[in-house]
A and B are shown apart, each in its own frame.
Chain A
């Protein structure tokens, strides 16, 4: 049995586990800020694993290239979506995302 299909399956399995764990994190975390931190593993790391799995299984083919293009967009857009979402939550809560903009100073603002 060749190693590439097994390695590819392991990568896909890891991606599935990561998405399941992230979904669990979104489910159990108490507030919106904390839930958002569990989106990145599902939206960034799992797609990297899936793309690697495709690359390992199919080699340098068009499918791998297409997966890389899709991954590129996800890697570039993901951090800014998280940033914009977190900022929107903060603005909705405090009126401004800045430390002095209607909320307490960040140092004094530890949630727990």
Chain B
């Protein structure tokens, strides 16, 4: 028997209990049903994007190639739509959030020097890197689509340079937990 029905008394409505704590990494549950037309629209958008990628990568407009691409894009669009629906994932962002991305090339270049400096010291001096887990204060934000998108972008943005990777954003701490290969306070 499925656990959902265990202990159900006939004639009584089963009581649904909420989990005591849901990790922020777990997918959210959809609270309201999505109209079919909207889901079809999302599938069409996915299909157009994926078909465009097919044409660009396949570099051919032969009929049979296009037919194969249309089929592959349809399947991939279906999978993408079903996954985003099941996970209740939506993406909404503000343009100003992209401004800090301009600093990323400089950060990547700087971190490359840090990381390969650590490798050099390991190879020449036999000294292990001074790695650390650290907390970076960040505002967790709300549980709206926009808030979730902001956190996703924060995690990606802080994980792109090689010296630092994000483990997650702790709501209770109001901080982002990161691992650094070389700590900021004097790794060299």
Q: Give the distance in Å from the alpha carbon of A110 to the alpha carbon of B173 in the complex.
A: 19
Q: Give the distance in Å from the alpha carbon of A59 to the alpha carbon of B62 in the complex.
A: 25
Evaluate contact between A106 and B168: CB separation under 8 angstroms: no
The range of chain A's interface size is 35 or more
Across-interface contacts of A10 in B (CB, < 8 A): none
Chain B, Cβ-Cβ closest to A40: B162
Q: Which of B156, B170, B179 contacts A86 (CB 8 A)?
A: B179
Evaluate contact between B155 and A79: CB separation under 8 angstroms: yes
Evaluate contact between A37 and B160: CB separation under 8 angstroms: no
Q: Give the distance in Å from the alpha carbon of A65 to the alpha carbon of B58 in the complex.
A: 12
With an 8 A cutoff between CB atoms, is A45 at the interface? Answer: yes
Evaluate contact between A79 and B159: CB separation under 8 angstroms: yes
Within 8 A of A (CB), among B104-162: 108, 112, 115-116, 119, 122-123, 128-135, 155-157, 159-162
Q: Give the distance in Å from the alpha carbon of A25 to the alpha carbon of B129 in the complex.
A: 11
Within 8 A of B (CB), among A67-112: 69, 75-76, 78-80, 82-83, 86-87, 90, 97-99, 106-107, 109-112
- A87-B167 contact given A45-B108, A97-B177, A110-B183, CB 8 Å threshold: yes
Q: Within the complex, what minimum Cβ distance (angstroms) separates A45 from chain B? A: 6
Evaluate contact between A106 and B56: CB separation under 8 angstroms: no
- A69-B108 contact given A28-B122, A97-B167, A112-B130, CB 8 Å threshold: no
Q: Give the distance in Å from the alpha carbon of A98 to the alpha carbon of B21 in the complex.
A: 14
Q: Give the distance in Å from the alpha carbon of A27 to the alpha carbon of B69 in the complex.
A: 41
Chain A, Cβ-Cβ closest to B129: A34
Q: Which of A38, A65, A80 contacts B162 (CB 8 A)?
A: A38
Q: Which of A98, A99, A111 contacts B132 (CB 8 A)?
A: A111
- A37-B115 contact given A44-B108, A106-B135, A110-B183, CB 8 Å threshold: yes
Chain A, Cβ-Cβ closest to B59: A62
Evaluate contact between B162 and A106: CB separation under 8 angstroms: no
With an 8 A cutoff between CB atoms, is A6 at the interface? Answer: no
Evaluate contact between A86 and B165: CB separation under 8 angstroms: yes
Evaluate contact between B59 and A66: CB separation under 8 angstroms: yes
- Besides A40-B160, A41-B162, 15 new A-B residue pairs in contact (Cβ under 8 A), listed by A number: A24-B123, A28-B119, A29-B122, A29-B129, A33-B181, A34-B128, A34-B131, A44-B162, A45-B108, A45-B162, A65-B56, A66-B57, A83-B159, A106-B134, A110-B133
A selection of 18 A-B contacts at a CB cut-off of 8 Å is: A21-B119, A25-B119, A38-B115, A38-B119, A40-B160, A40-B161, A41-B116, A45-B108, A69-B56, A83-B155, A87-B167, A87-B168, A97-B167, A97-B168, A98-B168, A99-B133, A110-B130, A110-B131
